[in-house]
Amino acid sequence: MARLLFILTSCMFLTFTALNASAAQFNTPKKAVGTYITGVTLGIGKNIEMAFQKTATIQYFDERGQYQIFGRDQFMQRIDTGNKWAAKVEITNMMITENVANATVEFTWGKEKQHGYVDYINLIFDGEQWQITSKVAQYISRKPEQ
């Protein structure tokens, strides 16, 4: 009986936790961007779903110079691998004007830190929460650190 009670209590806790996670409310642009960063670096597609508006667009030039464009759900599927990405990530700029914001996020990775992406992320406050409306990014080759 005690074991059954433990299992039921655990299931209720996990359900409540999952509901809270899916109903995340971002009261600052930095929290929405941080959720995106965590999703990308840990391979968690749900973070992309939470941080980006359903109609958001993701456009970038990859390592081969190829132009890529995705909707939020397509991008979420690409991210949702569970693979961890050992990149150094920094929000290097954040501009906020009332209900709109723009963040610059820089990714650096590689044995000699020779790879990078620079993301420009637009956000909007819809009266309830901040969410990402679009992201454009450019792959850049960085000079190895000496």
Number of domains in the chain: 1
Over residues 1-39, the pLDDT tens digits come to 444 333 333 333 333 333 344 446 899 999 999 999 999
Answer whether residue 2 is part of any domain.
no
Q: What is the pTM of this model?
A: 0.81
CATH number of the domain that 90 lies in? 3.10.450.50
CA neighbor of 106 nearest in space, from 121, 96, 126, 123: 121
**Phi-psi label, residue 113: left if phi above 0, alpha if psi -120 to 50, beta otherwise:** left
Answer whether residue 22 is part of any domain.
no
According to the model, what pLDDT value does residue 144 have? 67
pLDDT under 50: residue ranges of the chain: 1-23
Q: What is the span of the domain harbouring residue 43?
A: 27-141
Q: Residue 62 — φ and ψ, nearest 5°? A: -85, -170
Answer whether residue 1 is part of any domain.
no
Answer whether residue 73 is part of any domain.
yes
